[in-house]
Structure 1
Amino acid sequence: MTTFALIGAAGYVAPRHMKAMQAIGGDLKVAYDPNDSVGIIDSHFPDAHFFTEFERFDRHVDKLRRRDEQIDYVSICSPNHLHDAHCRFALRSGADAICEKPLVLNPWNIDGLAEIERDTGRRISTILQLRLHPAIIALREKFAKSNDRHQVNLTYITSRGRWYYASWKGEDAKSGGVATNIGVHFFDMLSFVFGPVKRNEAHLREPERAAGYLECERAEINWFLSVDRNDLPDSVKGKKTTFRSISVDGDEVEFSEGFTDLHTRSYEEIIAGRGFGLDEVRSSIDIVSNFRNAPVKSGSGLLHPFAQRMIAG
């Protein structure tokens, strides 16, 4: 039986990881979170040990190792800025790591993790679940056969309340900002479908929203991301809290269905040795890091329509 430890058990995405562990017949041996609102564990692994102090969690993982009850994988659902350190902990504990997006905040952190992989012989896999979505796979296969350049618009607005800005997610140094926190998996998907990025512009960079332009090998992409419910189109205000749209050459790409079991699919691929490793994650980390540090060019003629409206006031 595959055994797991979990860091960040009280996090928003942690239940998806527990469900995936259970679905593949795994066993969660021990979990950690400084917050103790983790009753969800009872629905999956009620016998798992749980700690609110990292030092005690570390000691328990080490005790299992010394008893020859080695943890196979450490799953990481902690705040973004801690992913790097927690991956290092996993590998140094003799386990492989399964890390939520974004794997790290900066591309040079990937180089450091690659060194630890070589030193320990262990592996880091990250959750890039959109690469496993049937609609995205079909899209990639379709455009891989074409030499045409495509016009793409990405709009993603997901409402967040006041709590967001009081949490680590509202601190750029910890979350990487809106583009990193809610956008990194979309950027991975776009480079996965349309090829390597050749140009990356920042058009809008605010605490609540971000916008920019990407030129990929096979596409020119305008994108807009927001956590402000006031940015929702009038057609969905009062009805939905999230608006997601991707259009290619004016045609809407439908992929709103099929998200439910993508974490389980990710775990199945990782256990089978086909997980997405450091090389696969580099492109999206480059995109968000470069955007975070790029000068804002709000006068560009390449603005996303939503960004045009925001800048015009």
Structure 2
Amino acid sequence: MKNFALIGAAGYIAPRHMKAIKETDNNLSVAYDINDSVGIIDSISPNSEFFTEFERFQEHAWRLKRSKITELDYISVCSPNHLHHSHIAAGLRLGCDVICEKPLVPTLEVLNELRTVEEETGKRVYNILQLRHHKAILDLKKEVDAAPKGKKFDVDLTYITSRGKWYLESWKGDPRKSFGVATNIGVHFFDMLHFIFGNLEKNELHYSDELKAAGYLEYEKARVPWFLSIDANDLPESVVGKQTTFRSISANGKQIEFSSGFTDLHTISYQEILAGRGFGIDDAEHCIRTVENIRDGNTVNAIDGYCHPFLTKFL
């Protein structure tokens, strides 16, 4: 049994990490968040210590190091995006391996800083890239890998996840903290595309505002117009009034069904990490480069044929 700490316990994604820790038969020793709305802990790990000040959490973690029985083995980071680097570095320096939500960090410069801290501490950083474990994605990768050399798939990526007015008032609506829509809700999709279709050859940004972004990515084996949005007004008419999220990936006109199968992906990710097969800094580098270039790039006119169809209303 390994001892875990969790940073960001009141966040949206934290319960999936708590569940993964429990389902891999490990112990959530202590949790931290500046907010105290963490009642979910009662149903998963009611004996966990909890702190709302980072200094008290860190001091407690140092005390736990005095015994081999209580010392922390892993720290899971579920805090706001702009705090990932600081919390990962703190976990490494406490002598723990660290499991962090996406996006790992915003830029390649910060990623290289984490490489340095890994070298200094001898500990590892693992990124949750859960779509690499999804059966539909793995099946598509097998199909692509078996395709004739030089073949490029025509892929369409659409992801609309409706968010209320609270979103723009939270840290997620502040691009200094979330790094914008393309990074916050898109980074694991961009990782998935790289995982399936190889290295990125072209990266164009066609549209970007606080609610949505669109562009074109060309990989070794795919051409991908993409559209990401948190605006319910972008939902296709076929799902309006029925669901608040629309997730679609098609390859050469064939719809890839991956709406289901997400429930256990964090637990699978933890199982792989604990077995020594987790995704580290090198694995995360490609998608971090992709979103950094999207944020830093200038909007260009969409190329005919490679403009996402949902984008036409904005051009």
Q: Residue 235 of structure 1 corresponds to which residue in structure 2?
A: 238
Structure 2 runs not aligned, ≥5 long: none
**Which residue identity does 2:227 align to in structure 1?**
F
Q: Residue 142 of structure 2 corresponds to which residue in structure 1?
A: 141
Distance 1:299 1:261 in 2: 38
Structure 1 runs not aligned, ≥5 long: none
Q: Residue 80 of structure 1 corresponds to which residue in structure 2?
A: 81
Q: Residue 58 of structure 1 corresponds to which residue in structure 2?
A: 58
Q: Is the 8 A contact 1:203 1:300 kept in 2?
A: no
Identity of paired residues, percent?
56
**Which residue identity does 2:13 align to in structure 1?**
V
Per-residue CA deviations over 1:22-80 (Å, capped at 9, x if unaligned) read: 00110011100000000000011111000000010011001101234210000000000
How far does residue 166 in structure 1 lie from its aligned partner after superposition? 0.4
**Which residue identity does 2:308 align to in structure 1?**
H
Per-residue CA deviations over 1:68-104 (Å, capped at 9, x if unaligned) read: 4210000000000111111101100000000000000
Secondary structure in 2 aligned to 1:66? coil
How far does residue 135 in structure 1 lie from its aligned partner after superposition? 1.1
- 2:306 equivalent to 1:295: no
1:206 to 204, 209, 212: 209
Distance 2:141 2:122 in 1: 32
2:251 to 248, 252, 257: 248
Distance 2:50 2:100 in 1: 19
Distance 1:186 1:269 in 2: 20
Q: Residue 267 of structure 1 corresponds to which residue in structure 2?
A: 270
Tell me the TM-score normalised to structure 1 length.
0.98
1:159 to 156, 159, 162: 162
Per-residue CA deviations over 1:183-203 (Å, capped at 9, x if unaligned) read: 111000001000000110000
Per-residue CA deviations over 1:221-273 (Å, capped at 9, x if unaligned) read: 00000000000001111110000111111111111121110000000000011
How far does residue 296 in structure 1 lie from its aligned partner after superposition? 0.1
Distance 1:102 1:310 in 2: 27
Q: Residue 119 of structure 1 corresponds to which residue in structure 2?
A: 120
Secondary structure in 1 aligned to 2:311? helix
Q: Is the 8 A contact 1:5 1:73 kept in 2?
A: yes
Q: Is the 8 A contact 1:177 1:207 kept in 2?
A: yes
Distance 2:117 2:166 in 1: 36
**Which residue identity does 2:40 align to in structure 1?**
I
Q: Residue 308 of structure 2 corresponds to which residue in structure 1?
A: 304
**Which residue identity does 1:241 align to in structure 2?**
T
- 2:115 equivalent to 1:101: no
Distance 2:16 2:10 in 1: 12
2:288 to 282, 285, 289: 285
Distance 1:303 1:119 in 2: 45
Secondary structure in 1 aligned to 2:164? coil
Distance 2:64 2:314 in 1: 54
Distance 1:142 1:112 in 2: 37
2:192 to 184, 189, 193: 189
How far does residue 299 in structure 1 lie from its aligned partner after superposition? 4.4
Distance 1:288 1:308 in 2: 23
1:219 to 218, 222, 238: 222
Secondary structure in 2 aligned to 1:173? helix
**Which residue identity does 2:170 align to in structure 1?**
S
Q: Is the 8 A contact 1:158 1:243 kept in 2?
A: yes
How far does residue 141 in structure 1 lie from its aligned partner after superposition? 1.3
- 2:46 equivalent to 1:46: yes
Distance 1:186 1:131 in 2: 10
Q: Runs in 1 of length 4+ with deviation above 2 angstroms?
A: 66-69, 298-302
